[in-house]
A and B are shown apart, each in its own frame.
Chain A
Amino acid sequence: MSVLKFTKTHEWAKIDAQTAVVGITDYAQKSLGDIVFVELPKAGSVILQGKRFGTIESTKAASELYAPLGGEVIEINKELVNNPQWINESAFEKGWMFKVKLADVSQINSLLDENAYEELVAKEAH
């Protein structure tokens, strides 16, 4: 049974015991507009919680992506690089970015749950 958590910078993490899949939220893709470029971390690289792991560019601007959780990147969504529009079409499914092997499971406690994230979005939208 996986758990869905969020960052204040609009990334999501689907956590399943020792691993998590990461992407950006539907709210984020809507605010960015048409996404035309995504740069992902390399498989095998180590990322740190809260640090930049990549860049996303829409027709409007470039934005940094921040890691919800730290650890080793064990798989990336290679096809996404050639099909960045998948993030617009399906932010939580086809638009997944990479899978990370968690360095420290307790980092999960600093993430937002669905209710807290919805509150954040409601505030930002006004």
Chain B
Amino acid sequence: MELKTTPLYQKHIDSKARIVDFTGWALPVEYASVLKETRAVRTSCGLFDVSHMGEIRIKGKGALAFLQYLTSNDISRTTPGQLQYNLFLNENAGIIDDLMVYNCADSFLCVVNASNCAKVYQWLVKNKSNDVQIVDESETTALLSLQGPFASCIIEKVFAKSAANIGYMHFIEYSFLGKKIIISRSGYTGEDGFEIYCNNQDAVSLWDSMVAEGRQYGLMLCGLGARDILRIEAGYPLYGHEINEDTNPLEASLEWAVKLKKEFISKEKLCRMAEAGLRAGLRRKRIGFVLLDRALPRQGYPIYRNSTAIGEVTSGAYSPNLNVFIGMGYVEKDYSSLGTPIAIKIRDTVYNAKVSSFTFIKSHTKK
């Protein structure tokens, strides 16, 4: 099957990116060096093409009620111009996808994982009521992500001070050279940053503008390799690793995105677990961990306590910003407290680690 490409594909080829197949998309995994790109986002700035992400718009009189029922977080707490992290759950409280919901006043824009876009769209259509319209805008929407301490300087240069002053988890609709775009203060790195949504045909000029203005700030083009390390350093889950349809939000340590005061699908199941106490009601728990030795943990490696297997690694990376190996995984709940000594088996060797907070790197997102 031919890989899908983003409107910036030729830009990536011209920049000598290494292109990989990421769930059917031809995307840059690295330009010059994954580690240099990862450091640049923490110290200066990085620009990512994440146009593969899915954008599904929910319109109509029943849009809010419809979304409220299918998600765990409370969208009624947002006002127009705000976005919110949320989860689509199935009947068993399994996670269908994690997403950002943009409250656009007359509609809601759901930004979903590329790998789940078709599945989510079908799920929404299957559950929809007559007063709701569902429009998949993914094919025509590009998404650029500018992340790092100098991101706001570049946004001010390319757009305006008003754009650079947007609050965290807020967005504005903006006119750039007569084209309608969305500028959002958000990201997937734990750094201050912006995500810019535009029509496909405007992506190249936006990209070029940011590269040109970013040069003086040490902007680097960043690929999926850096994006993955950065999100692990920030403790963010990735669908297919930390979360899937067999994980529920409580064991995934995403209880902050579950609001049991509203009605939604599988709420009863989550209530029962929560009543039993977040820890007692669960069999396993997502944890972060730091290796005490040098070794690279990868998805699927077993986690031990003494000689007993207690869980499995879901993600791992070498953190160039901390100079240690870190990761996330699931362990039996009794071993999930901070500081618990654990071990990870990598090939034939067992390496020591300890349970750690998810925020390996202190978050620098704006409050």
- Whether the Cβ atoms of B296 and A36 lie closer than 8 Å is yes
Min C-beta distance of A90 to chain B, whole Å: 15
- Whether the Cβ atoms of B18 and A33 lie closer than 8 Å is yes
Contact partners of A60 in chain B: CB under 8 A = 29-30, 34, 225
Closest residue of B by beta carbon distance from A36: B318
Min C-beta distance of A58 to chain B, whole Å: 8
In the assembled complex, 9 residue pairs joining A and B whose CB atoms fall closer than 8 Å, in A order, are A33-B33, A33-B34, A34-B35, A36-B318, A37-B295, A37-B296, A57-B296, A60-B34, A62-B298
Within 8 A of A (CB), among B249-278: none
Min C-beta distance of B179 to chain A, whole Å: 36
A81 is an interface residue with CB less than 8 A from chain B: yes
B67 is an interface residue with CB less than 8 A from chain A: no
Chain B interface residue bracket vs A? 10 to 19
Interface residues of B (CB under 8 A from A): 18, 29-30, 33-35, 225, 229, 294-296, 298, 317-318, 325, 347
Which of B34, B294, B295, B347 lies in contact with A59, CB distance below 8 A?
B34
Interface size on A, residues (CB 8 A): 12
Closest residue of B by beta carbon distance from A88: B33
- Whether the Cβ atoms of B18 and A62 lie closer than 8 Å is no
CA distance A62 to B317 in the complex (A): 12
- Whether the Cβ atoms of A59 and B229 lie closer than 8 Å is yes
A82 is an interface residue with CB less than 8 A from chain B: yes
Interface residues of A (CB under 8 A from B): 33-34, 36-37, 55, 57, 59-60, 62, 81-82, 85
Contact partners of B34 in chain A: CB under 8 A = 33-34, 59-60
Min C-beta distance of B315 to chain A, whole Å: 13
CA distance A57 to B318 in the complex (A): 10
Min C-beta distance of B16 to chain A, whole Å: 12
CA distance A36 to B295 in the complex (A): 9
- Whether the Cβ atoms of B225 and A37 lie closer than 8 Å is no
Q: With A59-B35, A59-B225, A60-B29 as given contacts, are A82 and B294 in contact (CB-CB < 8 Å)?
A: yes
Contact partners of B295 in chain A: CB under 8 A = 37
Contact partners of B296 in chain A: CB under 8 A = 36-37, 57, 62
The 9 closest A-B CB pairs, nearest first, are A36-B318, A59-B34, A34-B35, A57-B296, A37-B296, A34-B34, A59-B225, A34-B33, A33-B30
